[in-house]
Amino acid sequence: MKRRTFLGVGLATGTLGILAAPPTLAQNKQIVVMNWGGDWNDRTVKYVEAPLLEANGWKIVRELTETAPRLTKILTEKRLPRGTIDLAHIGDFEAYSLYVNDAIDTIDYARIPNAQSLMPDLRQSYFMPWLCSPWEIVYKPEHVRNPVTSYSDLWNPKYAGKVGVMDANYANAMQMASIIGAGKINDFGQARKLLSEWKKAVNPKVYPSHQQAQAAMQTDEIWMVANFRARGLQWANDGMKCEVAYPKEGGIYTVFGVVMPRRVVNRDGAYVYLNALLDPVALAGLCAANFYSPTVTSVTIPGEVGGKIAITEQQKAAMHYPDQKFWSDNRMAWIEWWKKEFLGS
């Protein structure tokens, strides 16, 4: 199944799932997990960690950080005799960077019963996919009266001072600029050119993460921001008067999942955790609440929520898929330019 095929899978409630396999009596029942904080972690706890793991005697130690510290820690610990973490939530192209640097372990899917229904084209030997959503445009129609149809709408000078961008999602911003300038996702020269023009003409306001951008939208500090479709739908569900637009250039496809560091401490516990993440009942509840798409065929979301999450055939045809090797080879150069030139004075 290709990723385009996966995006077209219909959305209806999964039936009973296989709960995380019980550990042996000799197992260490502590699992150290690195994850994003905020509502992402809150929902992970609510739908997965609390009911399927902590309720069964597991102790989850959470290290909540942004992506960069997680990457640094995993890369650093690969050189040590023993590590300190068992699993890390991360995006697929960052996972590839860790993989080519030999910092993460191979995942044995035979030890994850719920992985039997993973979309084959999403499964990686080093990365277990969990959730996904395309990168689109979220805007407030009461202020942005013309229909939003393109990433380039964010570059319109008439919205100067009213457009936001998130530092944590610098990669998506640079890929978006590359698409506008070159029609493809990995043209660094065009990305730099378009972002420099954006900074001069629109002066987008920079926020650390989704939560700060949401608060800025809520108070009309900004009217428009690029973000995952799932985030825009969450904000609307929380009561914000906003809409989500799929850009005519095609959205940016993003998969989130989990990796196991090379120096994993509790390997048995890590597999119990991975199996719990793919529990169909837990995923059905999680995706109905956060509007991300599940990566397993055992879970589909029905009704209005499922309709909002679903990707049309036309949208699938236009979708951009990150070039993982290019990103791994050039990530540090992109970060350096973003920090020094775009965020710098």
pLDDT-based confidence at 225, cuts 50/70/90? Answer: very high
User: Is the pLDDT assigned to residue 234 strictly greater than 90?
Assistant: yes
Number of neighbouring beta carbons within 10 Å of residue 202: 20
With H, G, I as helix, E, B as strand and everything else as coil, classify residue 27. coil
- Right CATH for 3-132+254-305 from 3.40.50.1860, 3.40.190.10, 3.90.550.50, 3.40.50.1970: 3.40.190.10
Q: How far is CA 84 from CA 74, 80, 108, 276, in A?
A: 9, 10, 21, 21
Q: What does the alpha-carbon distance between residue 298 and residue 284 come to, in Å, rounded to a whole number? A: 9
Q: What does the alpha-carbon distance between residue 157 and residue 149 come to, in Å, rounded to a whole number? A: 16
Q: What does the alpha-carbon distance between residue 299 and residue 306 come to, in Å, rounded to a whole number? A: 11
Q: What is the pLDDT of residue 345?
A: 65
More confident residue, 14 or 191: 191
Q: What is the pLDDT of residue 53?
A: 98
Which residues lie below 8 Å from residue 131, measured CB to CB, with a gap of 6+? Answer: 230, 255, 256, 257, 286, 287, 290, 292, 293, 294, 295
CATH topology of domain 134-253+320-342: D-Maltodextrin-Binding Protein; domain 2 (3.40.190)
DSSP of 66-124: -HHHHHHHHHHHTTSSS-S-SEEEEEHHHHHHHHHTT-BPPP-GGG-GGGGGB-TTT-B
pLDDT-based confidence at 300, cuts 50/70/90? Answer: confident
Q: In terms of Cα–Cα distance, which of 290, 288, 304 is closest to 235? A: 290
Average pLDDT, the chain: 91
User: Is the pLDDT assigned to residue 294 strictly greater than 50?
Assistant: yes
User: Is the pLDDT assigned to residue 15 strictly greater than 60?
Assistant: no
Share of the chain above pLDDT 70, in %: 92
Q: Give the mean model confidence (pLDDT) for residues 219-233.
A: 98
What are the two backbone dihedrals, phi and then psi, of residue 162, each rounded to the nearest 5 degrees?
Answer: -120, 15
Interior/surface letters 163-179, b for 16+ CB within 10 angstroms, e for the rest: bbbbbbbbbbbbbbbbb
Question: For residue range 67-88, what is the model confidence (pLDDT) as tens digits?
Answer: 989 999 999 999 999 999 999 9
Q: What is the pLDDT of residue 242?
A: 97
User: Is the pLDDT assigned to residue 17 strictly greater than 70?
Assistant: no
Q: What does the alpha-carbon distance between residue 309 and residue 327 come to, in Å, rounded to a whole number? A: 27
With H, G, I as helix, E, B as strand and everything else as coil, classify residue 264. coil
Output the pTM of the full model: 0.88
Q: What does the alpha-carbon distance between residue 213 and residue 166 come to, in Å, rounded to a whole number? A: 7
Q: Where are the beta strands (DSSP E) in the chain?
A: 30-35, 59-64, 87-91, 128-139, 163-166, 205-207, 224-228, 243-245, 252-259, 293-294
Number of neighbouring beta carbons within 10 Å of residue 327: 21
User: Is the pLDDT assigned to residue 12 strictly greater than 50?
Assistant: no
pLDDT-based confidence at 27, cuts 50/70/90? Answer: low
**Contacts by 279-282 with C-beta closer than 8 Å and gap 24+?**
279/17, 279/18, 279/19, 279/20, 279/48, 279/52, 279/114, 280/14, 280/15, 280/16, 280/17, 280/18, 280/114, 280/117, 281/14, 281/16, 281/17, 282/17, 282/47, 282/48, 282/51, 282/52
Which segments of the chain belong to CATH 3.40.190.10?
A: 3-132+254-305, 134-253+320-342
